A = this chain, B = another copy of it.
Amino acid sequence: MTTREDCLALDARDPLGPLREEFVLPEGVIYLDGNSLGARPRPALQRAREVVEKEWGEGLIGSWNSAGWRALPERLGNRLARLIGAGEDEVVITDTTSINLFKVLVAALRVQADRDPSRKVIVTERSNFPTDIYMVEGLADMLQQGYSLRLVDAPEELPAAIGTDTAVALITQVNYKTGHLHDMAALTALAHECGALTIWDLCHSAGAVPVDLKGSGADYAIGCTYKYLNGGPGSPAFVWVAPHLRELVWQPLTGWWGHVRQFGMEARYEPAPGIGRYLCGTQPITSLAMVECGLEAFEKTDMQALREKSLALTDLFIERVRARCGEHPLTLVTPLEHARRGSHVSFEHPEGYAVIQALIDRGVIGDYREPRIMRFGFTPLYTGFTDVWDAAEALVDVLDSDAWRAERFMTRKQVT
């Protein structure tokens, strides 16, 4: 059985340990919510100051060229690409996950409409992050062309649900509630056998687990940069399209930034070649520029090293909670199998909301998701083994002391 001394020793010899210094975290806080909003990279404050004071304040309009604003979506996309198994000039950082999902969803449906217009079903998990489901509903409602959602109740039901009527399988690689990790290559192959296209939502996997879009044969991918990628609150999202699909159709949000001649001021839309056509309107430069600070931290390590530590951290947390909280009504909902586990661990508890609040009061920040799920995110860039030990002990203390009962009737205010 691991001891706290073992954890201190693990931290002392952890080759990733020094990366903690790349981030600023408040004193006395164990932050296990990087899967909702990543911590602040140390250079982000200086980067924001540069953009606001120098690039905006002094460079003014000239900064579109002199400070490289115009090239930011592509340049940062290239820095992100290696983390998700994408190639050079295949990713842009822009807009939001929801908007990017709309773009690729319409594109995929149009590709399918040309191939086999009878395919009208979009398959996804009922427990997928709600915005993914909502965006499909909004699109189907707008098009009125008979598109419908097929929601499966468990990850293992996905293969049977993808069939010859399926236009698109929309799969979030790591489930935001359970932490279940899907096999991208296997599901993509299965979808392709049925003639379906795949859209992968990487919100909880980019920067959390190794992702191999090209190796898996994936068709489309989207995701955010403000969780494991530490881009800052609401920082713009990313979009990737397999090169052979990219130019088959227009994505529908055809703004000026996606035009082949962005400053030609022409009266007809003509999409840029390449992933540039997935750009639309003017981007929030200050928020966008800080994404780079999050990506820089990843360049000091690699996803395999991060994955090994992530699994060690989640293993340790599961082991400690099971060993210490056995008498409490906790149910692990995250897969034990490594190949099926992302980088967060979720337990159900009948009073999960109150327990999380009591933990936050003790400086251990996890979060709560309806219904009854307590989530704990483990981010190997800045979380250590002793943090995990202490977080588990704090949970023991909250549960044993019934400290959570005082929190039961507080207003529920949570965010993704």
**Partner-B contacts on A (CB < 8 A):** 24-26, 29, 31, 33, 36-37, 39-40, 44-45, 48-49, 51-53, 55-58, 60-65, 69-70, 95-99, 102, 106, 110, 126-127, 129-131, 133-135, 137-139, 141-143, 151, 224, 226, 232-237, 250-256, 259, 262-269, 280-288, 290, 360, 365, 367, 369-370, 412-416
| Residues of B contacting A266 in the complex (Cβ-Cβ under 8 angstroms) | 130
Q: How far is the CB of A88 from chain B (nearest CB, A)?
A: 23
Structural contact, B252 and A141, CB atoms closer than 8 A? yes
Q: How far is the CB of A359 from chain B (nearest CB, A)?
A: 13
| Residues of B contacting A226 in the complex (Cβ-Cβ under 8 angstroms) | 282
- Known contacts A234-B288, A265-B369; A61 and B415 CB within 8 A of each other: yes
Kindly report which residue of chain B lies nearest to residue A44, judged by CB atoms: B52
| Residues of B contacting A31 in the complex (Cβ-Cβ under 8 angstroms) | 60
Cross-chain contact of A255 among B60, B134, B256 (Cβ < 8 A):
B134
Cross-chain contact of A268 among B39, B52, B137, B253 (Cβ < 8 A):
B137
Assembled-state Cα–Cα distance A72/B224 (Å) = 20
Assembled-state Cα–Cα distance A29/B262 (Å) = 27
Structural contact, B33 and A253, CB atoms closer than 8 A? no
Structural contact, B365 and A61, CB atoms closer than 8 A? yes
| Residues of B contacting A48 in the complex (Cβ-Cβ under 8 angstroms) | 48-49, 51-52, 286
Structural contact, B96 and A281, CB atoms closer than 8 A? yes
- Known contacts A110-B142, A280-B98; A415 and B65 CB within 8 A of each other: yes
Structural contact, A267 and B130, CB atoms closer than 8 A? yes
Structural contact, B37 and A61, CB atoms closer than 8 A? yes
Cross-chain contact of A415 among B33, B70, B269 (Cβ < 8 A):
B70
Kindly report which residue of chain B lies nearest to residue A113, judged by CB atoms: B144
Assembled-state Cα–Cα distance A286/B412 (Å) = 25
Q: How far is the CB of A344 from chain B (nearest CB, A)?
A: 13
Q: Which of A61, A110, A141 has the most CB of B within 10 A?
A: A61
Structural contact, A139 and B252, CB atoms closer than 8 A? yes
Q: How far is the CB of A179 from chain B (nearest CB, A)?
A: 15
Structural contact, A99 and B99, CB atoms closer than 8 A? yes
Between-chain CB contacts (< 8 Å), 24 pairs: A26-B57, A37-B56, A39-B60, A40-B53, A45-B49, A45-B57, A49-B49, A52-B232, A63-B233, A95-B95, A96-B281, A99-B253, A99-B281, A110-B142, A133-B268, A134-B254, A138-B250, A142-B250, A232-B284, A264-B370, A284-B288, A286-B286, A287-B287, A287-B288
